[in-house]
Chain A
Amino acid sequence: MLEVQNLSMRFGGLLAVDQVSLDVNEREIVSIIGPNGAGKTTVFNCMSGFYKPTGGKILFQGQEVQGKPDYKISRLGMVRTFQHVRLFNNMTVVENLLVAQHRHLNTNLLAGLLKTPDYRERERKSLDRAAYWLNRVGLMDMANREAGNLAYGQQRRLEIARCMVTEPKLLMLDEPAAGLNPAETKDLNQLIVSLKEDYCVSVVLIEHDMSLVMDISDRINVINQGRPLASGTPEEIRQNDDVIKAYLGEA
């Protein structure tokens, strides 16, 4: 469903991403790994429309999306999280989830002001959807807390829930396990697998936690210094000499 072809991104003299290709099928978890500064986040930023790539193509469900504005790409069903959690900190947890559903609710202002039955119905649905996902990520008790006051692990989960209420087709997670303790990482592992199994989303995952990556990925792409280094199943990557060299070289 997603095809990235020869994507390049240049910042002045720095070629941060160089001819990276990637494809993701329906209900698949594809990981992008690589040492720090390899250009993983930059690939995401190009895919989500945050940067306009300097070269290459991005096809989402057959449609070229490179260079489209970020909010339009997100409306197509490609939603992302951020390496540094970005919540609406002064809004409550539920409000964070309601904001994300603005499009399901978006009718004209008058319908909302007058509380037409149709509007109420949609509002109730979006509340239910929010409640469902809060339950799903175990944040129901925090519903009316301000998002900024949550513990780090909870914020990470809320960010994923906030993506899921938009009912995406493809979810891009940028280091979702960073800063989580082992128990939380285990929950995250199950959550991501269930997103694929139960909610039919494809996931593109950037992650440094190798056991998580090896455990849940269907395929893995390795990038080093902006260039694609290897790609294949976890088993193939584990045995790939180039990858071992790159990681050992870094260490």
Chain B
Amino acid sequence: MAANNLKHALFCAVVTLVIAYPILGLNLEAQGINVTLEGADASTVISVLAAAVVVFLFQLFRDNILSVLKSVPSPLPKSQKEPMAENKRARIESWVLTGIVILALFWPFFVSRGAVDLATLVLIYIMLALGLNVVVGLAGLLDLGYVAFYAVGAYTFALLSQYAGVSFWVALPIGACLAALFGFTLGFPVLRLRGDYLAIVTLGFGEIIRILLNNWTSLTGGPNGVGGIPDPTLFGMEFGRRVKEEGNVSFHETFGIAYSGEHKVIFLYLIALVLAVFTALVIRRFMRMPVGRSWEALREDEIAARSLGMSRTAVKLSAFTIGAFFAGFAGTVFASKQGFISPESFVFLESAIILAIVVLGGMGSQIGVVLAAIAVTILPELAREFSEYRMLIFGAAMVLMMIWRPQGLMPVRRIHIELSKQE
């Protein structure tokens, strides 16, 4: 055992050296037209060596370290509290949630524009994560290319507005339905795949969409993206200083108030809020319907599910389609918020972040996913000084979570079903 650890630790240290030294230590210097390879300076060499030593020590004592970490009581509250009467608990929960939504409705009028903008982004991530939660958390299909559907939604609106002058409200359902159609189409080839294979194929699909957007310059503008995406209107009222579209009026003139750039930001926030609440409610309803249960059944035991007459095709396709639908929603809002989109916004990292939100929140749990979306979006903004270490902190948080609380922030609580006692 010990010898094994030593060998493993040595190997890891050597790998660290082999990878870190060329990347950090070697510099290409341009001297006129020649490029020369410069060796590392002393401090870099020392830190690379130090890193290797740290890796070596960690791997050598990994078992001890992990067991110590595990024995540290988790800083998060325990999930097993006194069980409350189920119907009482459900009632309190729905009151609290309604309260939070009402607070969220009025909150933007009292805070800065930047905060509202950030909150809109949070809401977009909430929509995305809730949608992905259907695919990954409920149906258990590991989808690494979810961002593709987000892109489809965003580009649908961007292109429709550019080529056909379509407004936000018309584009919203079109974008969502088109994304759903893409979800459905992707569903077919991956029906038979499971686990790692499914992950790889969906990952590839995500990249295909991004690369397509990048290279189909004549339609999408390629890497330059699409700009000038209009803001949403409120019953034909625009929020800009001047009315852009023929036949529209402007919001501030209609109500006889002074123009303020904040109106638009708040309006977008409110739209995102309504859509996020809508997403949450619809998916919550699905979870209590036969579709939702069959997603979970398929995740739990595919063979048993099929032996009860469930068609794998229908169940998987519905999960993919519905998940993609909400990504399309989020994409449309995103395009409108940014006013400009390019393939840069839809890289794999986005998929990874959304997936991380779902995993951190607790697979299948809606409240957990919402909390995780808030945390993952806002914490990096609060800790801007550390922005270089963002990914590092992110990774560390994931590892610690997996050790302390593998079931996520808020593990799913099964829906309590009251049965009428009979006979």
Contact = CB atoms under 8 A, between A and B. Distances in A.
Contacts of B422: 128, 131-132, 135
A127 B291 contact: no
A18 to B, nearest CB: 25
Contacts of B290: 98-99, 101-102, 105-106, 112
Interface residues of B, number: 32
B113 interface: no
B384 interface: no
B309 A127 contact: no
Contacts of A43: none
A79 B300 contact: no
Contacts of B293: 91, 95, 98-99, 102
A113 B285 contact: yes
A48 B297 contact: no
A25 B139 CA distance: 39
Contacts of B306: 69-71, 74
Contacts of A132: 422-423
A40 interface: no
A146 B413 CA distance: 10
A90 interface: yes
Contact of A102 (B86, B300, B310, B312): B310
A128 B290 CA distance: 15
Contact of A74 (B86, B300, B309, B416): B309
Given A88-B301, A92-B417, A144-B416, A166 B308 contact: yes
B284 to A, nearest CB: 11
A105 B296 CA distance: 16
Interface in B292-330: 293-294, 296-297, 300-301, 303-312
A99 B308 contact: yes
Contacts of A135: 422-423
Contacts of A146: 414
B296 A91 contact: yes
B419 interface: yes
B303 A86 contact: yes
Contacts of A91: 293, 296-297, 300, 414
Given A102-B290, A112-B291, A127 B420 contact: yes
A100 B308 contact: yes
Contacts of A74: 306-309
Contacts of A134: 419
A89 B285 CA distance: 22
Contacts of A137: none
B236 to A, nearest CB: 29
Contact of A144 (B285, B291, B311, B414): B414
A169 interface: no
Contacts of A109: 286, 289, 291
A94 B294 contact: no
Contacts of A143: 417, 419
B415 interface: yes
A131 B309 contact: no
A8 B286 CA distance: 43
A7 B420 CA distance: 46
B282 interface: yes
Which of B294, B309, B310 gathers most chain A CB within 10 Å?
B309
A166 B294 CA distance: 14
Contacts of B291: 109, 112
Contacts of B310: 71, 99, 102
Contacts of B289: 105, 109, 112-113
A143 B296 CA distance: 18
Contacts of B294: 99, 102
B282 A71 contact: no
Interface string A67-96: 001111011000110100011111110110
Contact of A89 (B282, B300, B420): B300
Which of A75, A106, A127, A134 gathers most chain B CB within 10 Å?
A106
A71 B311 contact: yes
Q: Closest 3 interchain pairs by CB? A: A88-B300, A86-B304, A74-B309
Interface of A: 48, 50, 69-72, 74-75, 79-80, 82, 86-92, 94-95, 98-103, 105-106, 109, 112-113, 127-128, 130-132, 134-135, 140, 143-144, 146, 162-163, 166
